[in-house]
A and B are shown apart, each in its own frame.
Chain A
Amino acid sequence: MFLTLTALVGEPRHGYGIVQEVERLSGGRTQLKIGTLYGVLDRLATEGLVVLDREEAENGRLRRYYRLTDDGAAALEQEAARLAENVRTATARLRARTVTS
């Protein structure tokens, strides 16, 4: 969910666009399956963190673009702060370990 929300920061994206962006953000470590992606989008939409931005037809295929809501941005910011705190804690302990050894 964190990576999906991050992928939607800046611009609305359609399903495969989110898959590509998540893969890029994770350095290729996370490859979202389509079923997984729509499960995540359902949950984010239910919680009001993303909404449908627009629908387009591309080569006769339906594309729905999703965008981050203000609540979604706030949730992402909160999660980012939590992860940053974890990183700070881990970094501080590693520094302390280096000093004592």
Chain B
Amino acid sequence: MTLLEQRYRNVLKLLPASYRAEREEEMVAAFLEAYDAPDETGPRPPWGEIFSVAALAVRVRLSWRPRGAAWGETVRLTALFGIGLQAVLSSATLMSALADPLSDRLYEAANLGLAICWLLAFATLARGAVRPARSLALAGLAFTVFQQVAITLAFGDIAFESWLGTTSMAVVAALALLLGHHGGSTTPVLPWLVIVPAMAVGLVYYVSASVLTSGPAPGLDESWMWIWPWASGEGVAALLLTVGSVSALTRRPVHAPAALALGVLGLPLLASRLPLLLDHQFSQAIVISGAAQLALLGVLVPALWVRGLRAMPSSGREDPRAVL
């Protein structure tokens, strides 16, 4: 390697590594065709060439913005979808708390607290009021964790399903809400016509679950076993994620941030369904139905990641070799 080549390669280090991996050899070849000189003369790249590389480095780095913006939107949608899910579950919790109050007042208060906080967090976030949404989501998360700890202590058994599922999803959603919104980000505002029905899904869930569990019909127990993996909080989350995933994956073109946000939330949900298969205390019907749900999520979640990542906007600079 000549001295001039070595010095020009040093200049090229101004460019991002990924750009150099693609272009460095080609640029060095073009440069040396124009300027090659023996080492004895102590050649250096002309200032004009150095400035042109510096300008290219700035342009390439700035052109990464579209991808950065898409990732930002992914984080914000993760917060919106995750908190929306908590709101759906909270509608059912609220109905249950009002219809059938528990004897443990502290637990009951936590139940009411988390339901109200998550519902209000979703409503404020969906209306674009990020700051109150953050406080409410953090309060909702605190109530959720308290409730989980209380259940774990009361039953002396760690409820892996809930910890891995809805609780982890609540943590992910709250973190996304803290990280995804900043001064320069745009906050979409949803109409009440979308917000209210979204929250009302929880009421449908509550009524359906009540009907299923209260009927005296013979053989109900066996039917309930088949439905059970879809009727818990994680089951409803799996059902909603399935609907959302099918909608996201069939949309043309795929909206990358929406697909990835669902993919992010799908990971803890997927993990939460594993205990259904590993715990031998469950009946065969629950295990089979749970396995089917796990298989469904096992297909949808990776598909969301793959399609989402493929649909992410490029860095603003297409690789010309791609069209060869």
Question: Taking beta carbons and an 8 Å cutoff, which residues of A are in contact with B?
Answer: 14-16, 19, 33-39, 41-42, 45-46, 50-52, 54, 58, 61-64, 66
* Contact stretch, chosen from B119-127, B303-311, B316-324: B316-324
Set B30, B51, B52, B54: member contacting A16, Cβ < 8 A: B30
* Contact stretch, chosen from B31-39, B134-142, B271-279, B283-291: B31-39
Beta-carbon contact of A35 and B33 below 8 Å: no
B106 at the A interface (CB under 8 A): no
CA of A79 to CA of B88, assembled, Å? 56
Beta-carbon contact of A35 and B49 below 8 Å: yes
Beta-carbon contact of B317 and A34 below 8 Å: no
Contacts of B53 in A (CB 8 A): 34-35
Beta-carbon contact of B28 and A33 below 8 Å: no
Question: Taking beta carbons and an 8 Å cutoff, which residues of B are in contact with A?
Answer: 23, 25-34, 48-49, 51-56, 59-60, 316-321, 323-324
A-B contact count (CB 8 A): 79
CA of A64 to CA of B32, assembled, Å? 15
Return 28 A-B CB contacts under 8 Å, by A number: A15-B27, A15-B29, A15-B30, A16-B30, A19-B30, A33-B51, A34-B30, A34-B31, A34-B49, A35-B49, A35-B53, A35-B55, A36-B56, A38-B23, A38-B26, A38-B27, A38-B56, A39-B52, A42-B60, A42-B320, A45-B319, A46-B318, A52-B324, A61-B25, A62-B25, A63-B26, A64-B320, A64-B321
Contacts of A33 in B (CB 8 A): 48-49, 51-52
